Structure 1
Amino acid sequence: MYRLGITLLLIILALSSPRAQDRQRPEQTGILPRLWVDSLRVKYIDSLTYRQYLDGDYRSLIETSNIARNEGISFYYLNYRTAIAYYLLKDYAKAATFYKATLSETPDDQQLKKSLYYAYLLSGQKENAAILAGTMAPHTQAIVGYNPSVMDQLSLSGGYLMNDNKPDIHRAAGFDSLNQYQNMGFSALGIGFRLSERTKLKLGYQLYNTRFQRSAGTTLIMEDDLTQHQLVAALEFFTPSNITWGFAGGYYNIEKAGTTQITTTGSDGQGAGGGNGYTTSTGERMSAWSLLAFLNKRYTYTLPEIAVAYSNFGGTEQYQAKGSLTYYPLGNLNFYGISAAALIYTPNGWITEQYILSQHLGVKLFGPVWLDANASIGNHLNYISEHSFLVYDTYDPIKALAGISLSCYLKRMTVTTGYQWQQKEGYAFSSTGYTPYKYNNHLINIAFLWNF
């Protein structure tokens, strides 16, 4: 009887156990638990990307990586292989993203740091590269050639501008004031200091010497050289979130050709009963200054920036707003572009609003040689660009320009030579009005830059 009771109990338990298990299973009966599925999927992705890496099939590896990340799958070796794939395909911007993710799990891996360092450099992220290099072991710093210095860079440049500002208009009767700004020589010196790993100070001096002639009718009244001195400074701050912001300003000492209006009468005067004449003197100098603030942020392939500026060129207040977008469509420096638009507002000026549109393109030709081309259209008078290190405070306004340059990037030195065409607008004045005319400038220059 006792044995019979035990047997019946075992039968009941056997019948009830499957039903209890069925109630505890997920609704998708017959499917492995989610954890098991994820584990198998991760192992499959790991195996597949490893095979694609060994086979050198980097595009397929990136495609597999994208699929995995869309499924929420991410692990150390997937990020590492993806970084290598992007790097070998020369998409250094994306490679930097994945090297950084990999390095976050093994922060002392010197090989990873070296790879990320080069990815930063080759995608135009010099600030991030320098900060990373500061965390490297001494032997790794020696390998990448990192040797920190208070001086960040030194630049020297110079050039000569020739023009055809010899219009026939000055031969016409009735024009008694024609200021012709002709050939110009210029030079510049720039020094950059690294105040900290995230702060830089840049200083610059520029000298311009312009040939000047003044005519009245067919008579050359005077001829002289006009000089301009410019001092520029900029302070930049780089944040961990890839935001750069800062301030810049300049002081400008400008020599002018002053004119004094005089009245003539009698038979020797202008017109039937007299008129107005002008005398000209050089050596009169005036000072001006400018202030600028800027903010930009580096994304994977783009760097948008906004800048606002104030200046008082010509004794008149100007306000400027500028927006630009730098882009690296290939994820490297082999091809890049900069598109920009600016507005200059001069409340009390002869022209109240000025609009400037500009485009810059750069491409790697071969080895260390790059070709850059730029074009810009609009009234550039008193236009402030390149964080105040390029200011168009010209005597006659530039209405359009186009240029081309070749740069050779050596280990710590860059040599650049270029040509630029400019179209300027001059003015011939008379006692009753003025007549504008166009003339062309041809500029050649050479620049040397040393990085420390």
Structure 2
Amino acid sequence: MANRKYLLAALLTICCYLAGAQTVTFRQVDSTSLAQYNAGNWRALIVDGNSAINSGIDYPVLRLRIAYAQFMSSNYHGALAQYNQVLKSDSYNQTAHYFSYLCNKYLDNNPAASYHASFIDTAVINREHIASFGLLIAGLETGVKIPSNAQRGMGSYTRASLGNRLGWRLQADQSLAYYNQSITSTTPTNGTTPQITPTNTTFANTQFEYYAKLGYSINCRLTLLGAYHYLNNSFGDVNFQNHVAMAGIKYAAPFFTLQGDANVSSITGARVTQFNVQLSTYPLGNLNFYTASRLSVQTGDIKQNIFTQLLGFKLSKQLWLEASGSFGAMNNYLEADALYVYSAIDVSQWKAGSTAFFALGQHAVLCLNYTFEQKLDYYLNNNYKQNSITGGLIWKF
């Protein structure tokens, strides 16, 4: 009986020793993560590093190593999550700010990139040629709209744009655009009289536009948005001075962004308020695959709900594709922070399309878009199809 008692005690001691041997210590985590970092074993470093944090071993150097492993794995959102934790304990950490700048730059989040750049040492700023004032992006797009309606001529659209950094926290985007299409009015089948021009005449529908948007970074996650869009519309001899104002806020978190904004417009005599909420997700932590879901609610002289869904993915090292669809009548509808205004005489009932982005080196991106629209003839009240093809070039400084 006594021997059995001693044997049980010995077994218990051995079990406790083995259990203790499985407990990870700070020294083990530090040496293992350093070895994995030096060897470039990024996957193991991410897995083992996160496991150590979950077990209670958490310190800035470990976070920096995991973040760099995520960065080297092109998981920029995952890296930002780690760098944000480092900055909570050391708000001026140069490594965290520099790589956060790069991560946001690769995610096309210029406001957050600029915010982090404001904390980077001057020597690094000069070495990387990062300026607090100057051009960020320039673009040119032009396209045609081809309707299947004999009473509608082929439309053309051209827009030139510039994006400037006006300090570390302020960015301004501006563009000029011009649209032109010939319209032939037709006697309505219901006997009503058109409101803009006499029937059975052909007139030019032209539109000149100026657009300006400001983005101010409150911090690395919150950006205040404001925009103004002026449109000079002409329907033959009838001219309209149209105005659109937008105010919103955008929240950027690891793996998703959320934006809400309100738009007030006066377009061709109609006063409309449009509220938008958009959720964008980045499941892989980069632009290899992303989604955007947007709900727009119009009130005022026009009441309508529009839903838009977008999917984007990387096909190759230089090629990205986006596919999107919008559902709901787009009457004086505002899209892309009020950059695009759907104020045509014929209202689009729904649209779907795709865009290809092809990188031409480090700075230039070539864009090609195709869009199909179901439109409603203003005079005859019947549907017709419209195909649009747009090409563009974007230059990133």
TM-score if structure 2 supplies the norm length?
A: 0.83
Match of 1:259 in 2: none
Match of 1:355 in 2: 305
How much does 1:90 deviate? 2.1
Match of 2:11 in 1: none
Secondary structure of 1:77 counterpart? helix
Match of 2:384 in 1: 439
Residue identity opposite 2:156 in structure 1? G
Q: Is the 8 A contact 1:183 1:211 kept in 2?
A: yes
Secondary structure of 2:58 counterpart? coil
Q: Is the 8 A contact 1:336 1:361 kept in 2?
A: yes
Match of 2:54 in 1: 70
RMSD of aligned Cα (Å): 2.9
Whether 1:121 and 2:105 are equivalent positions in the alignment is yes
Question: Matched residues in 1 for 2:163 and 2:177: separation?
Answer: 15
Q: Is the 8 A contact 2:209 2:232 kept in 1?
A: yes
Match of 1:231 in 2: 210
1:232/1:56 CA distance change after superposition, 3 Å: closer
1:306/1:152 CA distance change after superposition, 3 Å: same
Residue identity opposite 2:383 in structure 1? K
Match of 2:290 in 1: 336
Question: Matched residues in 2 for 1:164 and 1:106: separation?
Answer: 59
Residue identity opposite 1:244 in structure 2? T
Secondary structure of 2:70 counterpart? helix
1:15-94 equivalences under 5 Å are: 41-53=25-37, 57-94=41-78
User: 1:93-142: CA deviations, max 9, x gaps?
Assistant: 111332455576595756x6654433332334333333434544566446
Q: Is the 8 A contact 2:132 2:168 kept in 1?
A: no
Whether 1:288 and 2:242 are equivalent positions in the alignment is yes
State the percentage of identical aligned residues.
23
How much does 1:56 deviate? 5.1
User: 1:58-112: CA deviations, max 9, x gaps?
Assistant: 33432332232233321233112211222233211111332455576595756x6
Q: Is the 8 A contact 1:210 1:225 kept in 2?
A: yes
Match of 1:279 in 2: none
Match of 1:130 in 2: 114
1:99/1:149 CA distance change after superposition, 3 Å: same
Match of 1:415 in 2: 366
User: 1:36-67: CA deviations, max 9, x gaps?
Assistant: x9x97211222333344456553343233223
How many residues get paired? 368
1:260-275 equivalences under 5 Å are: none
Residue identity opposite 2:207 in structure 1? Q
- Counterpart of 1:316 (choices 244, 252, 270) is 270
Q: Gaps (5+ residues) in structure 2?
A: 1-15, 190-198
Q: Is the 8 A contact 1:164 1:182 kept in 2?
A: no
Moved more, 100-109 or 285-294: 100-109
User: 1:120-179: CA deviations, max 9, x gaps?
Assistant: 32334333333434544566446545355433332221111111013xxxxxxxxxxxxx
Question: Matched residues in 2 for 1:424 and 1:205: separation?
Answer: 26
Question: Matched residues in 1 for 2:238 and 2:124: separation?
Answer: 58
How much does 1:226 deviate? 1.9
1:109/1:213 CA distance change after superposition, 3 Å: closer
Question: Matched residues in 2 for 1:286 and 1:105: separation?
Answer: 55
Q: Is the 8 A contact 1:181 1:395 kept in 2?
A: no
Whether 1:369 and 2:319 are equivalent positions in the alignment is yes
Secondary structure of 1:329 counterpart? coil
Secondary structure of 1:165 counterpart? coil
How much does 1:415 deviate? 1.9
Report the structure number with the largest CA radius of gyration. Answer: 1
Residue identity opposite 2:186 in structure 1? S
User: 1:405-436: CA deviations, max 9, x gaps?
Assistant: 1112332222211111111011445xxxxxx2
